[in-house]
Structure 1
Amino acid sequence: MEKSILDIMINRNEFPIIFIGSGIPRRYLVKYPSWEELLEEFWRKAEQENFYGFLNKERDKIGDLSSRIDQDFEINVNVASEIEKIINMKFYNGDIEIEGLTQKEAYKNDLSPFKKALANRFSKYQIKDSYLEELAHFRKMLVKSQMILTTNYDTFIEDQYNKESSYNIKKYIGQRGFFQQTIGYSEIYKIHGCISEPKSLVIGKTDYELYDENSILISAKVISMLLHSPIIFLGYSLTDRNVRKLIKSFAMSLSDQEKEELEKRLLLVQWEKGSEKLVEQVINDPDLGCRLTVIRTDNYSLIYDKIAEINQGVAPAEVRRYQHVIKQLIIEKGKAGSLQSVLVSPNELDDIEKNLKDRNIVVAIGDSKLIFNMPNVVEYILDYIRDDTEQNNDTMLRFIASQNNNILPFWRYLSEESILKSSLAESEKEKLRKRLRTFVDVKDQIDLLQFTEKYNSLEEIKNAGLKEYHKHCVVAANIDTIGIEKCREYIIDELNKIKSKGEIKVPTTLRRLALIYDFRKNH
């Protein structure tokens, strides 16, 4: 049985480029308009009558074109231009008001009042309750996209992406991103503009003329990515002018052999009401100059789940993060002179970027199971209390076994099961078992405190004028009164003070406080 195009994409394990059109927000958002519906809505806001009569006049005016697609497009951009002219005139005459815009602001910023009204229209949206479950699948698919291109004005796509990923997607508005040297991962290109910049919106005849002049940049960007990434169209029709123009322009640049390969890398998902299956068909369109695969369905979750199976070990957002830092480290800093090497785990990249200054560094990045540094005591306790360690368990167990001073938190890592599963030497394992036998009761640790005065709050202790070691003991003795979270914040603050001085030693009293906190939190 021949494999489906989605299965081929999964086997090739390549993050796709995804084009998202208005069909996607129309599927998920309440009262999201088509282009014609949007024009009719603003025609009425402009206090005009007989909308379809005006459309008919425009059709007679432009006459027959090569295709109905081109004819509808010309009518719509002409109507949009007319609406813009009417609304702008009424705004400056004081006949209508536009929220968030004054005549002075519009004039000074050379901002079309119509485009500001258009941005206002799409600034808020409401998700349909019936699609909440499918949206969860949509988000998982989005974070597997190498890059996203959209003609939509609203922020629905990037909002959904950022809801799923802890690394926000990089946004380029208009055609600026095509003029820049970009990373090429975890990026969204709002090619018809975005509501955050009303001037960028492409809606009228002049806007499209300027857009078409530069559309070759989009084609060039896509062609360069096509060698390594499949392309998927969602929320577009095969009759959509934007889709046809784009496919046609980059198909013209391909050889016959490359066009054959394109068939396995170019997918258009077309909505077919009520269809639960994925009906796949290869379309040969002479006007486009290539063949492509079309999947017709109403079961979009199946599509999303297939794309979400693509797995390269790290998500595109993480690739962009690493590439950005490496570029700054090696390309930009390397120009300054000889490079110094340092070994880091991925979770340290942000700190390195913040502290680059004039240092020249090369970074080795890898899975934290393979690349790691043995922590010092300050780093170990700080990461433990913050609960953000990315080191593997064997590394942590080996560090615990290496400590002659037994007073430090360990319960989250250490158990008889974790010792058995570890790759440590028997002598190291015995040290860990001894620790388990020694530290069995938090009361024993509290009894060893030198100072046990009673206080009502952490602030009261801080204001009591106590020496640091005295304060550590008193906080530990009053941990139940102070509360776990307040105690956690206090320990982190104390460790950060030590770390900022470049010290690696932690006072025994602070170690014991961290151990008592660990008992209360994890044992």
Structure 2
Amino acid sequence: MPKIAELIQNDFDAKWFVDPSIRKVDGEILSQIKDSGLSPFKAEISTYIKRKTKVVSAYQDEVNMLAKISEKSISGVITTNYDSLLEETLIGFRKYVGQNELIFSAIQGIAEIYKIHGSVENPDSIIINESDYLAFDEKSTYLAAKLMTIFMEYPIIFMGYSVSDANVQNIIRSIVSCLDEKQIKMLEDRFVFVEYKKDMVGVEVNPFTIMIDNKPLGMRKMILSDFMILYRAMDTKKSKLPVKVLRRFKQELYDYTITNVPTANLRVAALDDSRVDDEELVIAIGKVSDLGLRGLSGIDTNEWYRNIVLDDLEFSSDELLEYAFSKVLSQNSGKLPVNKYIVSATKEFQECKEFAQKWKFDNIISPTIQKSRNCLGGYSSVKQIWNLEKGSLERATRLISHLERAQIDVVELESVLKEIFEEDYNLLINSNPPIRTNVRRLIMVYDLLKWGN
């Protein structure tokens, strides 16, 4: 059949370019044909499927039930279908199209759809002709390796295929070839093959064995005509949290591990602080509105200072001043940048205002620093010092603090501070005490110069 598809494609593509009457595509897909060499055959197939596909009313309840169980009972879907039914039905699932996207992505194995034969949303990804299938088979080992963990950890329900379907057998073959007899035996309880039989009443479940390269693979075979029977059974098996939520936080943790940069939905305290025991570490999942104000008391000095520069906390200035100010101040010997929060707060915080007024430029820059400004030599600006001295962060930040107030351009200082945190987001935790002191001092100066007036 793939060879027949290739022959049809050759004839169709040739006719498409000379016969406008058979053209149905437009817009971006038409541009892809002209500019990127997309096959008109695949483009027209995608357009046809998108225009003609709809849920048959008789099956609407079944589709609704599928959507319902996807919330807590389905970890993921592997499909060879091109259409968009699954991503439109399974809300919140992440879609991966084609082998390349799947192989080269950091999949989380939950709340995901793997469209291994392409999608109508990307016509060029469609696997349909002989050369497509040959290229697919060449990469099947890599695909199997990517899916191995999923096959070993979850029950797998095969739906919409014949047991003899070459696509199904090829995927299973790639998986089985990597396993020993004991591991293959483990799969028997996890493989369920669903066979549709028209007008079947109820459901019939039997043991079933298929041969994969002379290796017997046992599974359960389910025969039915009403998929609602299966869906209702699956609905009794639920995770404690919606799978899309589990996937989101699994992805957040993965991204944090790779980048060391928390996101708006993942807040990380100083986990490498030697004073914190493993028993004290917790992960809290919930709405910011529920956890947020209680979590404000957990904001530390480093987060407070960094937020002055990066504005990376999700809390408002009112919340920070009302719930976190006193505690953070007590940890800092009475010194803290606060002007930014006062300026943007919607409430009056008289105590915080009186505190801020105590900290003038000459209070932030100690008398010792003021008396040793001759160390600057010929330096007279933030930018000048940073461009020539940033190879030594400790020296550069120390020299900048020796500048007179009139010599400090707040825009240049902001640029330097942002560059420092771009290089090491957790610098105020990771750096040695002199660097940490220098950077905090500069943030105090920055806060005063930008918002103090």
TM-score, L = length of structure 1 = 0.50
What stretches of structure 1 of length at least 5 have no aligned partner? 1-75, 163-167, 335-348, 378-497, 507-523
Aligned counterpart for 1:139 among listed residues 45, 57, 67: 67
Paired residues of 1:281 and 1:295 also in contact (CA < 8 A): yes
Change (3 A) 1:105 1:255: closer
SS in 1 for 2:50: coil
Distance between the aligned counterparts of 2:173 and 2:295, measured in 1? 59
How much identity, in percent, do the aligned residues show?
23
> 1:173 Cα shift?
0.8
Change (3 A) 1:368 1:142: closer
> 1:179 Cα shift?
2.3
SS in 2 for 1:122: helix
Alignment of 1:322 with 2:249, yes or no, is: yes
Matches within 5 A, 1:417-432: none
SS in 1 for 2:255: helix
Q: Which amino acid aligns with 1:230?
A: P
Distance between the aligned counterparts of 2:194 and 2:347, measured in 1? 57
Structure-2 residue corresponding to 1:151: 80
Distance between the aligned counterparts of 1:203 and 1:318, measured in 2? 35
> 1:90 Cα shift?
0.7
Alignment of 1:244 with 2:244, yes or no, is: no
Aligned counterpart for 1:110 among listed residues 34, 37, 41: 37
Higher relative contact order (CA 8 A, sep 6+): 1
Alignment of 1:268 with 2:268, yes or no, is: no
Alignment of 1:90 with 2:19, yes or no, is: no
Change (3 A) 1:110 1:500: farther
Structure-2 residue corresponding to 1:66: none
Q: Which amino acid aligns with 2:344?
A: K
Aligned counterpart for 1:161 among listed residues 62, 68, 90: 90
> 1:323 Cα shift?
1.5
Aligned counterpart for 2:284 among listed residues 344, 363, 366: 366
Per-residue CA deviation, residues 117-158 of structure 1 (Å, 9 max, x unaligned), is 010011132211111222221112333322211101110111
Structure-1 residue corresponding to 2:309: none
Structure-1 residue corresponding to 2:2: 77
SS in 2 for 1:285: strand
SS in 2 for 1:284: strand
How many residues of Structure 1 are paired with residues of Structure 2 in the alignment? 290
Per-residue CA deviation, residues 186-220 of structure 1 (Å, 9 max, x unaligned), is 11111111111111111101111111111112221
Structure-1 residue corresponding to 2:25: 99
Change (3 A) 1:230 1:91: same
> 1:105 Cα shift?
4.5
Aligned counterpart for 2:223 among listed residues 286, 296, 304: 296
Alignment of 1:185 with 2:110, yes or no, is: yes
SS in 2 for 1:292: strand
Change (3 A) 1:239 1:352: closer
Change (3 A) 1:298 1:140: same
Per-residue CA deviation, residues 360-416 of structure 1 (Å, 9 max, x unaligned), is 7669433559x9455599xxxxxxxxxxxxxxxxxxxxxxxxxxxxxxxxxxxxxxx
TM-score, L = length of structure 2 = 0.58
Paired residues of 1:283 and 1:291 also in contact (CA < 8 A): yes
Distance between the aligned counterparts of 1:504 and 1:361, measured in 2? 30
Distance between the aligned counterparts of 1:184 and 1:224, measured in 2? 8
Paired residues of 2:152 and 2:187 also in contact (CA < 8 A): no
Structure-2 residue corresponding to 1:223: 148
SS in 2 for 1:208: helix
Alignment of 1:174 with 2:98, yes or no, is: yes
Paired residues of 1:140 and 1:304 also in contact (CA < 8 A): no
Alignment of 1:306 with 2:306, yes or no, is: no
Distance between the aligned counterparts of 2:239 and 2:200, measured in 1? 31
